[in-house]
Amino acid sequence: MMSPRVRAFLGVWMPLILGGLVIALAANFLAATSAPTSDPAWPKGYSWDAWRAACAGGLVFVGVVLGISTLGRYQKAKAARAERGAKGPSLPPSNP
């Protein structure tokens, strides 16, 4: 059985950390990549910058969705904790 601290970390902080890492990866991808000068595999009619921006935008979207869903989960848990606190403790006290 997991302790409440581990569950809180995995449920709230880990998705926020992963979302931040995904957004940082997207920013790095935008800043560090450049258009190929003469790549025969890249078709002439396609814009490298447009594809680069689309991929980075998708990564940022995933990062933001992770953050928003985590925020909602945190607010729901906080409300449940407040409701449980008003009714009294639902778990028996642990023995030291």
Distant-in-sequence, close-in-space partners of 59: CB < 8 Å, separation ≥ 6? 22, 23, 25, 26, 29
pLDDT digits (tens, 9 = 90+) for 60-94: 898 888 888 888 877 887 888 788 776 655 556 66
Residue 56's pLDDT is 85
Q: Give the pLDDT score at 36.
A: 66
pLDDT > 70: percent of the chain: 80
Residue 75 token pair? 């607010």
d(C-alpha 86, C-alpha 90), whole Å:
11
Which token pair is 76? 């729901």
Residue type, 42: W
The DSSP result for 2-16, as a single string, is --HHHHHIIIIIHHH
Q: 């449980």: which residue's tokens?
A: 84
pLDDT of residue 39: 66
